[in-house]
Amino acid sequence: QQRQKLKKCGGDEKRVDSRTIYVGHRPCPDTEAFIPSKFCDNRIVSSKYTVWNFLPKNLFEQFRRIANFYFLIIFLVQVIVDTPTSPVTSGLPLFFVITVTAIKQGYEDWLRHKADNEVNKYPVTVLEDGRSVKKESEKIKVGDVVEVVEDETFPCDLILLQSSREDGTCFVTTASLDGESNHKTHYTVPDTEKDLQALPATIECEQPQPDLYKFVGRMHIYKPEQEPAVRSLGPENLLLKGATLKNTKKIYGVAVYTGMETKMALNYQGKSQKRSAVEKSINAFLLVYLCILISKAVVCTTLKYVWQSKEGQDEPWYNQKTQKEKDTNMYLKMFTDFLSFMVLFNFIIPVSMYVTVEMQKFLGSFFITWDKDFFDPEIQEGALVNTSDLNEELGQVEYVFTDKTGTLTQNNMEFIECCIDGFQYKHRDTRSELDGFTVTDGPVNKLQQKAGQEKEELFLRALCLCHTVQVKEAGSEVLADQVDGIDGLLLPQPEEERGFIASSPDEIALVRGAMEYGFTFLGLESKSMKIKNRENNIEEYKLLHVLNFDPVRRRMSVIVQTKSGETLLFCKGADSSIFPRVRPEEVDRIRMHVERNATEGYRTLCVAYKQLSAEEYAVADTGLREARLALQDREQKLMAMYNQVETGMSLIGATAVEDRLQEEAAETMEALQGAGMKVWVLTGDKMETAKSTCYACRLFQRGTELLELTVRTLEDGRLKREEKLLELLRDYHRRAVQDAPPVKAGVTRSWSTANQDYGFIIDGATLSLVMNPPREADASQYRSLFLQICQNCTAVLCCRMAPLQKAQIVKMVKNSKGSPITLSIGDGANDVSMILEAHVGIGIKGKEGRQAVRNSDYAIPKLKHLKKLLLAHGHLYYVRIAHLVQYFFYKNLCFILPQFLYQFFCGYSQQPLYDAAYLTMYNICFTSMPILAYSLLEQHISMEILLDNAALYREIANNAMLRWRPFLYWTVLGIFQGLLFFFGVRFLFSNPALQDNGQVFGNWSYGTIVFTVLVFTVTLKLALDTRHWTWINHFVIWGSLAFYVFFSFFWGGIIWPFLKQQRLYFVFANMLSSVSAWLVIIILILLSLLPEILLVVLRKPRGPHSRQVYLFLPFPF
C-alpha cells in the first residue's frame, strides 16, 4: 500500500496531494526503483522578461494598452487606406513611444534581475556524496541536504535533520517572515543518525501551501533488516526559507520546498500591475475624447454625403474622379471616408501624452532617490524607487496601513521603570534623562529610600525568576566545541555582554532591568536557576513548574523552590489579569502607576507572588502533571489548573517597558492624520503591545474611546461567539456611526471633547470570523458593519494578523465604497502581501531582510521619511501630473478643433489645415518640453509649506484635479480657443490679400497662421500656470517658441529634396512679412488668454491667508 503511493508520487507529481522526497537523492532499500521526480528549482524569479522574450512579450504588453493599440490601428489605416496624412505622422510618434517605454521597462526589469541574482547566486553548502560542495542557492534541488551556519538565512524550506546543539534543537528567527523577532525553537527529527551521508530515508509531505504555521509530513527511515521507522513531521521540524538561524552553530536539513514553492514565495501574491488613479482618469478622459473623435468623424462623413448630394458638388468639372473611385462601392467609400476623418482628427488623442507621462514619471522618480532628506547615515542608503508609475498616487493616499514591529517601533525593548509596593523607581541613564520631574541620582540609592529592602529584593528576584529567558551560550569556546564536533575551528569570541534569548523581547528587557538593580540571571542549568544578587552571591532556585504565557490568560508563572525549601510562585502578567487575583487592598497603590505608564505608551506588567505550603504545592504539582499528560482536552485542563494555582497572590509591583518608537513616529503619524489619512496598524504582535504602541505614537489619544473586538471580548458564557460578535458589531456601529455626528471629509480632527474619537481594535481570530462567518449569509452584513465602524474611527488597530490577513484587510478597504487609495508600509517579509495588495507599497529598509524592500513600490530608510514622501513629494507629483494630463488633452483639443472646423470650408474633403511637419512636430517638439519641464519642476507651493501644513494635502484629496469639473473646464477652454483660432483667421481671410504688395495668401498660409497662434497660446497658457520659474522653465518655454520660429523658417527656407510637395516653401517668412498676420496673431493670443488671466485675478481670494490659499490652486476651475 505504501509502495504504491510512493510510486504514484514520483511519477505524477501534480495530481497527488503529497510529494515524496528522497533524502540526499539516495534510493531507499525498500522501494523498488528510485524515480527522480521533477520539482521546481530553487530560483526566485521576480523579473518579467528574459533577453529572448523581451521584444515580443514587451510589445504584446504594450499593445494591450488601449491607447497604443489605438495608435497602431490608426497607423495601419494610414498605411492601407488613402488618407490625408502620411503614415509617418502617426508612425513616428508611436515608434518613439514604444521605444521609450520599452527602454524604461527593460531597465526596470534589469534591476529586478539583479536583485534576483543576488538571492539566487548566494553561495550555499550542500552535502553531496559525502562531501560538502559549495553551490549557488538556485542550484539546490529538492532532496539536497543543505548546511546552514549561524546568522544565515535558509535558502529554501528545510526539514531539520541535524543540529550542532546537543539537544537536537536550533533557534531561528522569522523576523523577515512574520515580523516576530523572537527566537523560535525547532527540533530535529528524532532517530536520524549522526551520519547524514548515508541516511536512507524518504520524506512524504503535503504539496506546498502558503500557511506558514502548518506543515504535515512523515519521514520513513530505513534501517537494514528492520521495519522502516516512521516519524511524523510537523511545523516544528520545518525551517522556512527567509528565516535566520540563530544561536546555533550549524544545522543540516533536507530541502523539501524550493524556489517559488517555498512558503515564503507562496506568501507573495502575484505581482499585478498597479495602476494609479491618475491613469484611470486618463483612460476615462481618453474615452470622452474617443467619443468626440468618433462623433467628429461621423458628423463630417454624414455632412460630406449630404453636401455631395447637391448637384455639381460631388464632382465639379475641375476635380474629377478617377475611374477607380467612380467604381468604388458607395458604402465602402463612406467607410474609407470615415476612416480618413478618424486619421485626420486622431491627433486629438495625444499619443505623446503617454510618452510624456512615462518620462515624467521615470525622471520625476529620481527626485525621490536624490532627496538627501531620505538619506540615512546609519545604513548609508537613501530612498529607492522600484516603480515610477505610482509617484502621483503618493499624493492621493487616504488609508495608511502600517506594520508595527520595525516600522512604528524599533523592536528594541527597554526597561523604563518599575514600581515596588507603590513606590516609583525610575531607571534612566543620567546622561539621557533631563526631564524636570524625574529625579535621578542613581537607581540603587533610590531604591533604599523608598520601599523596604525585603520587598525590593523579592520583586527583583521575581523579575529574575519569572521568565523563560535563556542565556546565550556563544562566547564560551569549550561549550562550542563540545556541542559541535565538526567545526572546531571557531574563533574564540571575546566575552561580551551577556546575551539573552527569549520568545519575547520584553522578557529580556525585564531581566536586563533586574540586572541594573543588581540582580543578574545567570542561567538555567538542569532545572535550577542561578541568580547573582547584590552582594554578588549566587542564589540557586529549583525550577519546579513553568505556567506558560498564553494570550487568553495573559500572564505566566513559575514555581520555584529556594535553597531553604520554600516553594514560591511568581506570576507576572497584564494588570487586568493580575488584579483580580491579588488582595484588593494592594491594588490601588499600584494601579495608579500602571495606568500612568500605560498612557505614556509603555508596556506594563504586574508582578505578584505567593508562597505555597507543602500541601498546596503537592496538590498543584499533581494537578499540573496530570493535566500535562492528559490526552483529551489537555488545553482546557491545563487552563483550569493554572487558574486554580494562580489565586490569592499578593501584588508586589509593576514594571514598565518601552518598545522604542522609530524616530519621529508620533510626529509622522500626526502629520498623516492631519493630512486626512486614516492610519491602520496591522501587526502580528500581541494586542497589549500594539495598543501601547498606538498610544505612544498618538494614534490613540487619552480621550479616544476604544472599541475592542477581540477573542477576549467575545468570550461570553451566555452567547455563542458569532452571536456575541454580531451584538458587539451592532453596539459599536451604533456608538461610532449612528450616534456620532457625520464626519465630513476634510474636516480637521477635532480636539474638543464634544467630538468623541473612536479607536477600533480587532484581532486576527475575530477578523477571520468577520470575514468568513460560519454562516455565509452573514458575511456581507458583518463586513459592512465592520467597515463602517472602521471608517468612522480615527485609528484602527488590527493585531495578531497573519500576513495574508493583512492583505485581506487592505483589499477589503481598497474595494470599499469610493475605492479609496491605500498605502501599506512595512519592513518585513510578513508585510509583503499587504505591500503588494495596497495601491502603494512602501518598504522600510529595516533590519528584517530585504523582501519588503524588494516587493515595495518605494523603499525608504525610516518611517519618518514617509511624511515628506507623501506630503511634499506626493503632493507635488500629483499636481504636476494632473496638470500635465489636463494640459495635454486641452492642447490637443485646440490643436485639432480648427482642423475639424476647416472641413466645413473645404467640402469635407479631409484637407489638413496644417502641414504634415506641423502635425507631427506639434506634440513631439513644439509643445512637449515646456510641459515636461513643468511636470518635473513645478512647486506651486514650496516644500516647506507643504511639510508644515499637513492639511494642504486634503486640497488634492479624491483626485481633485482630475475630476470631471476641472476636465470640463479645460475642455471648454480648449474649445473656446480652438474656435477663436479658426474663426479669427477665417475672418481675416475674407480678404486674402494680406501683404502690402497686393499678393494673396493660400491655404498653407492660413494653416500656418492658425498654427502659430496655437503654439504661442498653449505655451503661454502653460507659462501662466507656472508658479515656479527656474532657469529650466525659462529655457524650455522661450526655447520652444524660438525653436518653433526657427524651425518654421528652416522648414520653409529650403527646397527639401525628399518631399513630394514643397507646400510650406517660404510660407512662414511671407506670413511674417504681413503686418495683418502679425496683428491677428497678437490679438488672438491675447484674446485666448484673457479669460484665463481674468479668472486668476478675480478668483484670488482675499483675506489674511490670501497668498497661501491662492497658491493652492495652480489653475482655476
* Residues making up the binding site for Mg(2+): 403, 405, 827, 831
Measured in residues, the chain has a length of 1117
Spatial contact of 478 and 380, defined as CB atoms under 8 Å apart = no
Task: Decide: is 858 part of the binding site for other proteins (CB under 8 A).
Answer: no
Q: Give the shortest CB-47-to-other proteins separation in angstroms.
A: 16
Task: Decide: is 536 part of the binding site for other proteins (CB under 8 A).
Answer: no
Specify the stretch interacting with other proteins by CB under 8 A; choose among 196-204, 313-321, 581-589, 786-794: 313-321
Specify the stretch interacting with other proteins by CB under 8 A; choose among 429-437, 582-590, 614-622, 1001-1009: 1001-1009
DSSP-assigned beta bridge partners for residue 19 = 205
C-beta of 431 vs 1060, nearer to other proteins: 1060
Task: Decide: is 943 part of the binding site for other proteins (CB under 8 A).
Answer: yes
Task: Decide: is 1000 part of the binding site for other proteins (CB under 8 A).
Answer: yes
Q: Give the shortest CB-919-to-other proteins separation in angstroms.
A: 14
All three cell numbers of 857, joined, read 513600490
Task: Decide: is 316 part of the binding site for other proteins (CB under 8 A).
Answer: yes
Question: What's the angle, vertex CA 144, arms to CA 139 and CA 146, rounded to 5?
Answer: 90
Specify the stretch interacting with other proteins by CB under 8 A; choose among 57-65, 441-449, 948-956, 982-990: 982-990
Q: Look at residues 940, 895, 938, 898 and name the one whose alpha carbon lies nearest to residue 919.
A: 895
C-alpha 1068/C-alpha 1012 separation (Å) is 9
Specify the stretch interacting with other proteins by CB under 8 A; choose among 237-245, 607-615, 899-907, 1043-1051: 899-907
Spatial contact of 1077 and 984, defined as CB atoms under 8 Å apart = no
Task: Decide: is 1086 part of the binding site for other proteins (CB under 8 A).
Answer: yes
Contact string 1044-1073 vs other proteins (x = CB under 8 A) = -----------x---xxxx--xx---x---
- How large is the greatest C-alpha to C-alpha distance in the chain, in angstroms? 127
Q: Which of 302, 498, 986, 1047 binds other proteins (CB under 8 A)?
A: 986
List residues forming the annotated binding site for ATP: 403-405, 507, 549, 572, 603, 683-685, 800, 806, 830-831
Q: Give the shortest CB-313-to-other proteins separation in angstroms.
A: 6
Q: Which of 3, 114, 223, 625 binds other proteins (CB under 8 A)?
A: 114
C-beta of 90 vs 673, nearer to other proteins: 90
| φ and ψ at residue 1090, rounded to 5 degrees | -55, -50
Task: Decide: is 112 part of the binding site for other proteins (CB under 8 A).
Answer: no
Sequence-distant (≥ 6) Cβ neighbours of residue 515 within 8 angstroms: 498, 521
Task: Decide: is 1107 part of the binding site for other proteins (CB under 8 A).
Answer: yes
Binding-residue total with other proteins (CB under 8 A): 93
Q: Look at residues 422, 424, 865 and name the one whose alpha carbon lies nearest to residue 668.
A: 865
Task: Decide: is 317 part of the binding site for other proteins (CB under 8 A).
Answer: yes
Task: Decide: is 363 part of the binding site for other proteins (CB under 8 A).
Answer: no
Q: Of the listed 371, 389, 403, 1025, which one is catalytic?
A: 403
Q: Which of 210, 995, 1043, 1112 binds other proteins (CB under 8 A)?
A: 995
Task: Decide: is 305 part of the binding site for other proteins (CB under 8 A).
Answer: no
Q: Which of 471, 706, 1083, 1109 binds other proteins (CB under 8 A)?
A: 1083
Q: Look at residues 74, 87, 550 and name the one whose alpha carbon lies nearest to residue 339.
A: 74
Spatial contact of 582 and 601, defined as CB atoms under 8 Å apart = no
The CB-side HSE value for 197 (13 A sphere, CA atoms) comes to 6
Would you call 191 helix, strand, or coil by DSSP?
coil
| Cell 489537555 belongs to residue | 634
Task: Decide: is 1116 part of the binding site for other proteins (CB under 8 A).
Answer: no
Q: Which of 984, 1017, 1020, 1044 binds other proteins (CB under 8 A)?
A: 984
| Cell 525550577 belongs to residue | 543
Burial readout 400-417 (b: 16 or more C-beta within 10 A, e: otherwise): bbbbbbbbbbbbebbbbb
Task: Decide: is 1100 part of the binding site for other proteins (CB under 8 A).
Answer: yes
Specify the stretch interacting with other proteins by CB under 8 A; choose among 7-15, 44-52, 699-707, 986-994: 986-994
Task: Decide: is 1043 part of the binding site for other proteins (CB under 8 A).
Answer: no
C-alpha 1055/C-alpha 1061 separation (Å) is 9
Separation in Å, CA 1055 to CA 42, 187, 469, 1052, 1072: 64, 86, 89, 8, 19
109 is catalytic: no
The CB-side HSE value for 22 (13 A sphere, CA atoms) comes to 20
C-alpha 427/C-alpha 418 separation (Å) is 8
Q: Give the shortest CB-1110-to-other proteins separation in angstroms.
A: 8
Q: Give the shortest CB-51-to-other proteins separation in angstroms.
A: 21
| Cell 522578461 belongs to residue | 49
DSSP-assigned beta bridge partners for residue 159 = 238, 254
Would you call 889 helix, strand, or coil by DSSP?
helix
C-beta of 119 vs 605, nearer to other proteins: 119
Sequential DSSP letters for 21-77:
EEGGGPPPTTSS---PPP---S--------TTTHHHHHHHHHHHSHHHHHHHHHHHH
Specify the stretch interacting with other proteins by CB under 8 A; choose among 434-442, 501-509, 799-807, 997-1005: 997-1005
- Positions in 595-634 near other proteins (CB under 8 A): none
Task: Decide: is 1098 part of the binding site for other proteins (CB under 8 A).
Answer: yes
Would you call 561 helix, strand, or coil by DSSP?
strand
- Positions in 72-111 near other proteins (CB under 8 A): 84
Q: Give the shortest CB-1102-to-other proteins separation in angstroms.
A: 5
Would you call 707 helix, strand, or coil by DSSP?
strand
Task: Decide: is 706 part of the binding site for other proteins (CB under 8 A).
Answer: no
C-beta of 696 vs 980, nearer to other proteins: 980
C-beta of 310 vs 431, nearer to other proteins: 310
C-alpha 265/C-alpha 263 separation (Å) is 5
Task: Decide: is 309 part of the binding site for other proteins (CB under 8 A).
Answer: no
Burial readout 588-618 (b: 16 or more C-beta within 10 A, e: otherwise): eebbebbeebbeebbbbbbbbbbebeeeebe
C-beta of 182 vs 388, nearer to other proteins: 388
Task: Decide: is 526 part of the binding site for other proteins (CB under 8 A).
Answer: no
C-beta of 288 vs 1032, nearer to other proteins: 1032
C-alpha 970/C-alpha 976 separation (Å) is 10
Task: Decide: is 1003 part of the binding site for other proteins (CB under 8 A).
Answer: yes
Would you call 201 helix, strand, or coil by DSSP?
strand
Specify the stretch interacting with other proteins by CB under 8 A; choose among 100-108, 320-328, 748-756, 774-782: 320-328
C-alpha 42/C-alpha 262 separation (Å) is 9
List residues forming the annotated binding site: 403-405, 507, 549, 572, 603, 683-685, 800, 806, 827, 830-831
Task: Decide: is 752 part of the binding site for other proteins (CB under 8 A).
Answer: no
C-alpha 649/C-alpha 600 separation (Å) is 27
Task: Decide: is 1024 part of the binding site for other proteins (CB under 8 A).
Answer: yes
| Cell 484587510 belongs to residue | 809
Q: Give the shortest CB-394-to-other proteins separation in angstroms.
A: 15
- Positions in 901-940 near other proteins (CB under 8 A): 905-907, 909-912, 937, 939
- Positions in 389-408 near other proteins (CB under 8 A): none
Task: Decide: is 312 part of the binding site for other proteins (CB under 8 A).
Answer: yes
Task: Decide: is 371 part of the binding site for other proteins (CB under 8 A).
Answer: yes
Q: Give the shortest CB-913-to-other proteins separation in angstroms.
A: 9
Q: Give the shortest CB-149-to-other proteins separation in angstroms.
A: 20
C-beta of 111 vs 229, nearer to other proteins: 111
- Positions in 322-361 near other proteins (CB under 8 A): 322-323
C-alpha 721/C-alpha 698 separation (Å) is 32
Separation in Å, CA 134 to CA 30, 39, 114, 952: 31, 21, 21, 57
Residues marked active site are found at 403
